[in-house]
A and B are shown apart, each in its own frame.
Chain A
Amino acid sequence: MTKQKMFLRMITASLIRRRSRMLVALLAIAVGGTILSGLVTIYYDVPRQMGAQFRNYGANMIFVAADTETALTMDAAEEAASVIDSGDLLGMTPYRYETVRIHEQPIVVAGTDIESTKITSPYWHIDGSYPASSGEVILGSDVAELLGLGVGDSFNATYSTGDDSDSDEPNLGVDMKVSGILETGGSEENYLYMSMDDLNELAGEKDSLQVVELSISAMQEELRSYVEQISENSDAVAARLVKRVTQSESTVLTKLQALVFLVTAVVLVLTMICVATTMTAVVTERRREIGLRKALGASDKSIIGEFMGEGLLLGGIGGLVGSVLGFVFAQLVSVNVFSSSITFQPLLIPITMVVSVLVTGLACLLPVRSTMAIDPALVLKGE
């Protein structure tokens, strides 16, 4: 049997046969490992998960025509948007505004992609329902009040370019129905929203948009770089950040991350101290054994090596257990708070084990070094 084998046999026997003691120390380390890996997972996931929550504020980027000469077409917009990661681009909603006549009043109508508005304007409050078929529209609450229309009411809308003298046919307009009334507390309440197809039927086709709203899952710096790229690449499209949304998101998310980080740091320090006290207790308990080994001729270096070996082995096992439990905890949090799963980071297991080993090693250092002071004579003779 080689010396190394005997070394391993001694430290594993210590851990396996002294079961209750070992479990107690292991528990402290596993708890630390759980907290570390759990909180680190949450720390890295907070921007993604909370970020998704912030998309409730709606579009964070808009496209407008680069200058008054060039038209903003859907194609130009889609091409400009191609620089954005398809996974990050959550929604893109075009808007075309025209003024139409309803009940003799001029009303501004927005032709858009109704489905898409559910993503870029998730805060819309619809009394009634979203349009289900062609000819159905959403009426802003202010417009509804002005026209005296409610959910389910029908009306006629006419569009004229003012060049009626050309046409021989009477302008009959299009009959439409109110599927829902929109309440937002903002300027949307002044508009009527219909599908782009419906607007094309009403006001003729025109491949020119006033604005495209985009909802992108990305942090402020990434968004800014997108804006730069798009401005460089496209002649027709100018991209702008909706500062109200992006600035605030950045501030709040950074603070949340900082909070999780600080809490993790505090918890980690406290856990380390806890492990240190546990190891001190372990060393104190084994005073006699240490004295015996010294009496048998063990050098201080040897003793320190043996106890550190035990500590590091404990740290490794505790780290492994902790990383698994930490993942379970983070998953629990993610599912209960954000209703989604966390992305599993396989790297976290070895990292937690390494940190656990390091922390345990550090925590053992002082108590193990104190074994140097143990006098075999005192310990073996006295009680």
Chain B
Amino acid sequence: MSLLELRNISKIYGSLRALDNVSLKVDNGEWLAIMGPSGSGKSTLMNIIGCMDKPSLGEVILDGKDIAKESDKGLTAIRRDKIGLIFQQFHLVNYLTAVENVMVAQYYHSIPDEKEALEALDRVGLADRAKHLPSQLSGGEQQRVCIARALINHPELILADEPTGNLDEANENIVLDIFRQLHNEGSTLIVVTHDPEVGEVAQRMVTLEYGRIKSEVVNQNFGK
């Protein structure tokens, strides 16, 4: 059953087609990697899937509803309830502690729950750094806090944009391990990346070029 379906999506800026007639289906529990060089349109695609932007043409069906037709308020609600976002630049609020940063996501969703937030931090191995400010955490630790935050509201879809782009190899592996855990628990993962190593650990790889899908590869070696 597909959780997300993009039907003939185009994003047009004047004479530039950032996305040109892209169609894609993502199943529940699937781990998808979207790849491509810069300028290929993957950021634009990410923004549309993440409900931060609307396509010029086409439909985006998430959980049966066409979100392309939603108002800005509606999009905000969907972001809040259904999607967990992880960014390349691990955006954390610099004056809140790790646990407080996780609780911010809860705050906008429902009710902040410190216990739950601490548990989320524990899942990513940061239980003992809960009271630290971002400036006191390493790059890898900051990204893990972002992941904990992305998960706190049990989203249907986890969207990660170059999650390991700013990390060293050791930290990259830690993050990919967490992703594996999440996949095993049944979460749907879409990871946008330009790094083939990150793309190859997913179940399926979709490659974009000049706003169009160039290729789609299913990972035969997944899970082994």
Contacts and interface: CB of A to CB of B under 8 A. Distances in A.
Nearest to A15: B95
Contacts of A206: none
Interface residues of A, number: 29
Contacts of A13: 95-96, 100
Contacts, number: 81
B76 A17 contact: no
B108 A302 contact: yes
Most buried by B among A14, A289, A375, A381: A381
Interface in B31-60: 43, 47, 50, 52-53
Nearest to B95: A17
A293 interface: yes
Contacts of B89: 380
Interface residues of A, dominant DSSP: helix
B91 A3 contact: no
Contact of A1 (B96, B103, B108): B103
B111 interface: yes
Most buried by B among A294, A295, A296, A302: A296
B150 to A, nearest CB: 9
Interface of B: 43, 47, 50, 52-53, 73, 76-77, 79-81, 85, 87, 89, 91-96, 100, 103-105, 107-109, 111-114, 133, 149, 161
5 cross-chain pairs, A with B, having the tightest CB-CB distances, nearest first: A297-B80, A17-B95, A377-B52, A297-B108, A6-B112
Interface of A: 1-3, 5-7, 9-10, 13-14, 17-18, 288-289, 291-299, 302, 375-377, 380-381
22 contacts: A1-B113, A1-B114, A3-B112, A7-B107, A9-B100, A10-B96, A13-B95, A13-B100, A288-B91, A289-B93, A289-B94, A296-B79, A296-B105, A299-B73, A375-B52, A376-B52, A377-B47, A377-B52, A380-B52, A380-B87, A380-B89, A381-B161
